[in-house]
Structure 1
């Protein structure tokens, strides 16, 4: 749980640094936060289930590409 707390604090600090009241900037900080959080979620899912995901993809590709 400690890495999650560190990641949350880092994302909050990044959002605070990117936040600006300039109306010309649009919603760039919001999109940066969404992108970073998506990458974090992908890693959070990929790390513990890497072997199962690789096996499932390899099996699926093998069944599609095999010629019988």
Structure 2
């Protein structure tokens, strides 16, 4: 079966003499909830790459902050001092 817009189409059936049926038959539509559950279940637990990248980035930030929070704050203050005329 192939996906065409929001409906599934069965493949074209050939008649005995080799001609292809002109109109594909549409499958009956399922309720929205069933379609969403089927689509979510089709992922089979695969975690998208952007989720892993986001979690890894957050983990790196937390680890760096835990180890070097005082140094990071001092670097930020030194970098912003010229723009804020020393008001930090």
TM-score normalised to the size of structure 1? 0.51
* Runs of 4+ displaced beyond 6 Å: none
CA distance in 2, matches of 1:18, 1:35: 17
Where does residue 60 of structure 2 map in the other structure?
41
1:63 Cα deviation after fit = 2.4
Per-residue CA distance 1:10-67 (angstroms, 9 max, x = gap) = xxxxxxx741xxxxxxxx6211111101110111111111100101111221123218
User: Greater strand share, 1 or 2?
Assistant: 2
Where does residue 9 of structure 1 map in the other structure?
none
Higher-Rg member (1/2): 2
Which structure is higher in RCO with an 8 Å CA cutoff and minimum separation 6? 1
RMSD: 2.2
| 5+ residue gaps, structure 1 | 1-16, 20-27
User: Greater helix share, 1 or 2?
Assistant: 1
Where does residue 71 of structure 2 map in the other structure?
52
Q: Structure 1 29/18 Cα, relative in aligned 2: closer, same or farther at 3 Å?
A: farther
